[in-house]
Each structure stands twice: as C-alpha cells, then as structure tokens.
A and B are shown apart, each in its own frame.
Chain A
Amino acid sequence: MKTFSASKAVTALMLAGLVLLPLYSYLSGNIFILTLFTRIVILALAAASLNLIMGFGGMMSFGHAAYLGIGGYAVGMLAQEGVGSGFIQLPVALAASAIYALVIGALSLRTRGVYFIMITLAFAQMAYYVASGLARYGGDDGLTVYKRSDFSGLINLSNRTQFYYLCLACLFGVIFLIWRIVNSRFGLVVQGLRSNEQRMQAIGFPAKRYQLVCFVISGTMCGLAGALLANNTDFVSPAVMYWTRSGDLMVMVILGGMGTLFGPVMGAVVYLLLEEFLSQLTEYWALIMGPLLLLIVLFGRGGIMGLLGRLNRG
C-alpha cells in the first residue's frame, strides 16, 4: 500500500477529532473542552499562517503575535466605538493586518537571516508599546470586548458550538488556501527563493516582491486569527503581542513540522494540550515544558510530522 502512511493516518484522525469535538463535548457535558479547543483551533490558524512564510518561504518572522493583537484590537476598538457588525469588523481587521504586514515586510525584507528574525521581533515590540499607550482603549490593562462580532443572524458567535465551527471553518479555509498557494506558480517561486535566492533572481524573478506578497498574505491570515481570538476571550490586551507569544507560535510550527501542511495544526494541538495537562499536574509546568522544547530541538528533527515520516520508513 503506497498510499498509506502514518502521518496521513494521524492527520486524518486529528481532523476527524476536531470536527467531532462539539459532539463529544455535548454528550459528555464537558463544556470546558470546547472552550479549550476553540482556543487551540484559533492558535493553530495563527501557526499555519506563520508556517506559510517560515516553512515554505524561509522567512523567520519572530513578530507574528503582532497580527493577533492588530486583528483583536480592530474588533475591540470598533466594538467600543459602537460598530458591532462583523461584516465591518472582520474586513477592517484583515485590512489593518495587511497594511501593517506591508510596511513591516517592506522594511524587514531588506535584511536576512538573524537580522530578519530580530527586526520582525523589534517591530512587534513597537506594536506592543503602541497598544500599551492607547489610553482610550485600556492601555496596559487591555480592552474588554462587551459584544462579540454581530453577523446579523447568519451565525451567532455567542453560541459556543457555532463559534467553534466558524473557527474550524476558517482554519480549514486557510489551510486550503495555503495548499493552493504552495502549489501555484507563485508558491513555487517563493519556495525557490528559500533554497536559492540568487539563482531565482538571475532567472529574472523580482525576489523581494514575491516574498513581500507572501509576507502580507501570511500577516492577513494571522490577523483573522486575532479577530477570532478577541471574540473568544471577549478581551484584547497588549500582552497578546508580547514577544514570547510570537515564540509560542514558532514553537507550535516547529513542534508540528515546519513546511508541512498540517504540521502547525498538530503542533498547536500538542503544545496547548501539553500545557493544559502539565499545568493541571503541577503549578510549575514550564519547568518541564522548557527542557522538553530543548530535547525536541536536539533529537526531534522535522517535528511530529518528521517523526511520523521516519516511523513509516521503518
């Protein structure tokens, strides 16, 4: 059987689990698990968006949490000003993330390697300080979103199950889009740039322009995750943009398997479930999580997807 592989089987199982989760939650009466997985699905979406530029494009953005904040603040600020319609909030969140990504990307892509990692990091910190300075919108303390985005009866975000399925649909939509992008001519150029930029440039592709477009697409997707996250927690604060959040997203991508379609989703599920499990086990869960990450880096090349791939070969 050539078509069977461990990674495919595990991915299919995980996706089926995600789709059926509300049913389990309903049957077992465990509402908490639905709330937890709504968060997981949203952060998986953010991780998938990071993977597009990191895994396929070779651009190590260490400031991806900024988009979570920008998308979230777009929703929160509009709600505060009395604009509750999701049909306005969502496009504004996406547009704001896209514009931010365009400016940051245009500046950051002048550099490469470690410089790129650090400059994206610094720009996200800048966004963090801007948000901390927004006295009208809560400043350091953050902003409570009193009313979730209103989609005029089409879908009710206050209904847990409906909101969960909306998030899941967004996640699947984004992954489908990434799949299409990666296999398009555009995506092949971006991947070519990852392996050899000079050669691609010599062939005649305007390298930076391709990378910038990819950067903006990724940022916009992550802005969507931010808008959903603000609706999920009914709250948005500068802390969403703090640089350790970007680190979390990076960990999810690498843990699951960088440059694979479903790896980041797997990484988000495992990372956040592990965090949940360890924090129930002991108050000092990060004491275990930290060295665990170190061990994963040292021994687990290619993340979970890589591990499953090796399992398959023997």
Chain B
Amino acid sequence: MLLVVEQFLNGLQFGLLLFLLAAGLTLVFGIMDLVNLAHGSLYMMGAYFAATFAAWTGSFLLGALLALGATLVLGIVLEMSALRHLYGRDHLDHVLATFGLILFFNEAVRLIWGPAGLALPLPAWLTVPVPILPGIHYPAYRLAIIVVALLVALLLYLGVMRTRVGMLIRAGASNREMIGALGINIKLLYTLVFGLGAALAGLAGMMQAPILTVQIGMGENILILAFVIIVIGGIGSIRGAFLAAIFVGMVDTLGRAFLPNLLRQVLSGAAASTAAPALSSMLIYLLMAIVLVVRPEGLFPANRR
C-alpha cells in the first residue's frame, strides 16, 4: 500500500515535470510551426545554470530564480539570432538546424563546465519527509515539484486563455498573417513565446537536477519522451500535452516499479529479470504506437491541425 501510493506520487511528479518540457515544445510548434530539437538542450542548460548559480550564491532558491531568468534570456537570444530565420521553412530544415544546435550546446557545456557532471545539493528544509497520509511519508522536494508544476500549469492555462497576450498567442496560432495585419508586433510575440518555452524547459531541468546528476546530453533522452507526449496528446494542444504527460509519467514509473513482479508471476525468475527492464523502457513507445493506430492525430488534436 505504502509502495503503491509512493510510486503513484512519483509517477505524478515525473508526469508533471514532463509536462513542463512538453508544454514548451508544443507551444512553440503550435504557434510558430517550429520543430525544435534543441528544446532538450534548454532543459540541460537550465540544470547547469541552476547548479552553477546555487553554488555561487549559496542559496538554492536564489540559484533557481537566477537560472530561470538565464534560460529565458538564452531562449530569447537563440530565437533572435538563429531560429527566427527558420519560420516558414520546411520542417526538415528545422530538424537539421536545431540538430546542429544540440551539437553546439553539448560541446559548449563540455568546454565551460568540463566533461564530468555537476551535482545540485538540496537545502536541508527540502530533504525532510513530509507525512501525507497517516503513516505515509513522502520527500518534501518531490512534493514541491508537484506543487510548482501544477501552479505553472494553472498559470499557463490562465495566461493563454484569459489574458490579452494569451489571446494574441492563440490568434497567432490560427492565422499569423491576420494578426500581423491587425498591427500586432508578431516578431516580438514570437520571441516572447519562444522565451517562455525555453524558461519552461529550463524550469523542468533545474527541478530535475537535484534528483539526477547534471550531465551533458541529459536533455536528449527526455526530449524523446516529450515528443512521445505531444504525439500522444496531439501536436499543438496544451491540454493534450498535460493529460498525456501525466499518463506517460504514470505508465513509465508504475511500469518500472511493478512490471518485474508482474512478469515473475508468469515467467521464470531469470527470464523475468532480463525482460523487465527492456519491456518497461519500451512501455510508453508501445503506448504511443497503440494510440497512433487508433487515432493518428493523437488523443486531443488542436483544432488547426
């Protein structure tokens, strides 16, 4: 029972983290029609910035705030210097150009921080276990991730659905010429959206940093997960990304936790322990295949596509 609740919360936490990443990816794609493979690099940069700033300032929170600002600025610089020239080009051009950016970022990190990974230690008040149910404790930091991610999701929803900028963003997604003709500075709008996406990726990276080590290429594995999520949820749909992220996070975490035992019921011990890791890693890809066979456009396709 304890294990089930704990793994359930772990799944939720992982899913919410994936949502932050997938939201930025799908926002940029849905609005600017840009396939950004370098999104995972921004996630990595967020983690490196957080580890560095936290070490400089000696404060975890201050470091995280500075890192958030730094990824926002980095995203804006990236958009203005390179990606802005790719709008309206073929998707393949996006894939190639942002693939080049991945090479660049990985190497730049190696040059600046060295090949060894970094660690981002947690402050004492975030390491204590918190009682959530009678007799059940859960790490405070993981709870904090759940709270922050839910808050960000809510803010994002309100921001896009209820504010004037959000209205412009939605308008830009459905007809970019029209909104430009209405006298809206679409260049600035796009830059802001990309910066927002970058900041979301950076936030995901820095929140994951204390749990995993901060290392080169850490964005590449998780980027694929984010892709799986937006494909399952329907490209360009934030709501789809949210539901699919929670779903994928749950399936992945629960699969890893309980699949070995389940397999042991039907297979011999040795066969089960060899099959389980591969099968649990594959689980979400199987899931994606099934979803696409049933609904090639994803579960919650955005209206435009």
Contact = CB atoms under 8 A, between A and B. Distances in A.
B220 A284 contact: no
Contacts of B86: 297-298
Given A117-B35, A243-B220, A287-B111, A122 B95 contact: no
A297 B110 contact: no
A279 to B, nearest CB: 11
B131 interface: no
A60 B93 CA distance: 11
Interface in A286-301: 286-287, 289-294, 296-298
Interface in A271-290: 284-287, 289-290
Contact of B220 (A129, A244, A289, A298): A244
A114 B235 contact: yes
Interface in B57-112: 82, 85-86, 89, 91-93, 95-97, 99-108, 110-111
A133 B259 CA distance: 14
Contacts of B91: 60, 113-114, 117
A241 interface: no
Contacts of B97: 293-294, 297-298
Interface residues of B, number: 48
B224 interface: yes
A250 interface: yes
Contacts of B298: 115
A114 B292 CA distance: 13
Contacts of A113: 91
Contacts of B95: 60, 62, 117, 247, 250
A125 B230 CA distance: 16
Contact of A130 (B103, B104, B110, B278): B278
B96 A290 contact: no
A286 B227 contact: no
Contact of A254 (B89, B92, B274, B277): B92
A126 B100 CA distance: 24
B296 A287 contact: no
B288 interface: yes
Interface in A130-183: 130, 132-136
B17 interface: no
A251 interface: yes
Contacts of A136: 274
B281 interface: yes
Interface in B224-256: 224, 227-228, 230-231, 235
B99 A250 contact: yes
Nearest to A129: B281
15 contacts: A54-B92, A115-B298, A119-B231, A119-B292, A125-B224, A129-B281, A130-B278, A132-B277, A243-B224, A250-B99, A286-B103, A286-B104, A287-B111, A291-B104, A294-B104
